[in-house]
Amino acid sequence: MLNPTAAIIIIGNEILSGRIQDINVFYIAKKLAEVGIKLSEVRIIPDTQKMIVDTVLALKSQYDYIFTTGGIGPTHDDITTVAVATALNLPIELNPLAENAIKKFCSIHNQLFNQAGEKMAFLPRGSKLINNNISGAPGFIVENIYVMAGVPYIMHSMFEQVLPTLKHGQPIISKHIDIMIGENIIAADFADLQNKYPAIEMGSYPFKKDDQHGTSLVLSSANTPLLEQAYTDLLKLVHRTSSERNSISCVKSVDHHHELT
């Protein structure tokens, strides 16, 4: 069974300018891995309608799920909703459920329901709401596109509602070994291991600890038996290389198992 695939579109000039650090990708990627959805691509784009339209059109047919964050607030530069509707050739119209949700939130918190609030209730025709219990204005789902807030704690709340409704695959499991050897020393053997197991995603990531260079070797796959086989070969490779350099005591093995709950 092939795992479903996904892409993330992070929308916001504030991310590209460096004023705000994005943490939504890390959160979404981790949650998707836990339920066996392969995150294949992430794009960070500005708040410009053409860029949003072009990106949505480029990705929507390539992946099972598209998740966008940012640009659905009340201000003039929040244009994601209109851009998504334009990309899908759908009209924007007042969504009564969204309007009621925003009015209810305003009433509970003694806020005025004004034109800015009403703006967030206009959604592409046929949208399904993603409830927002934190600040009132909902996200929405249209076709395979999930449009969510950019503020992390609001996006997290929205995504937790969405996640159980998605088609799940085999959990993606990661296993890694940290070894206090520069990656240039193990690169050729690690490439041979990748060639032996092309279905296993492999990566090497250098780090420095106590003035020593090290490498984190990571294996990931939804195919658990094949992953275990590749991991066993990796252990042999690492210990052979470490023994040659008299550094076998510097090896640390860590497993990350993402299981369905």
Answer whether 7's CB lies under 8 Å from 25's CB: no
Assigned CATH topology for domain 173-256:
Alpha-Beta Plaits (3.30.70)
Per-residue confidence (pLDDT) for residue 251, from 0 to 100: 44
The average pLDDT across 167-189 equals 91
**Can you give the residue ranges of every domain in the chain?**
5-165, 173-256
The average pLDDT across 64-78 equals 94
Q: What's this model's pTM, rounded to 2 decimal places?
A: 0.83
- Inter-axis angle of helices 183-196 and 224-244, nearest 10: 150
Identify the CATH assignment for 5-165 out of 3.40.980.10, 3.30.413.10, 3.90.1150.10, 3.30.70.2190.
3.40.980.10
- Confidence at 250, pLDDT banded by 50, 70, 90: very low
Dump pLDDT digits (tens) for 191-243. Answer: 999 999 999 999 999 998 888 889 999 999 989 999 999 999 999 998 888 77
In three state form, how does the secondary structure of the chain look?
CCCCEEEEEEECHHHHCCCCCCCHHHHHHHHHHHCCCEEEEEEEECCCHHHHHHHHHHHCCCCCEEEEECCCCCCCCCCHHHHHHHHCCCCEEECHHHHHHHHHHHHHCCCCCCHHHHHCCEEECCCEEECCCCCCCCEEEECCEEEECCCHHHHHHHHHHHHHHCCCCCCCEEEEEEECCCHHHHHHHHHHHHHHCCCCEEEEEEEEECCEEEEEEEEEECCHHHHHHHHHHHHHHHHHHHHHCCCHHHCEEEEECCCCC
Per-residue confidence (pLDDT) for residue 72, from 0 to 100: 95
Q: Which residue has the higher pLDDT, 247 or 155?
A: 155
- Confidence at 246, pLDDT banded by 50, 70, 90: low
Per-residue confidence (pLDDT) for residue 241, from 0 to 100: 82
Per-residue confidence (pLDDT) for residue 255, from 0 to 100: 52
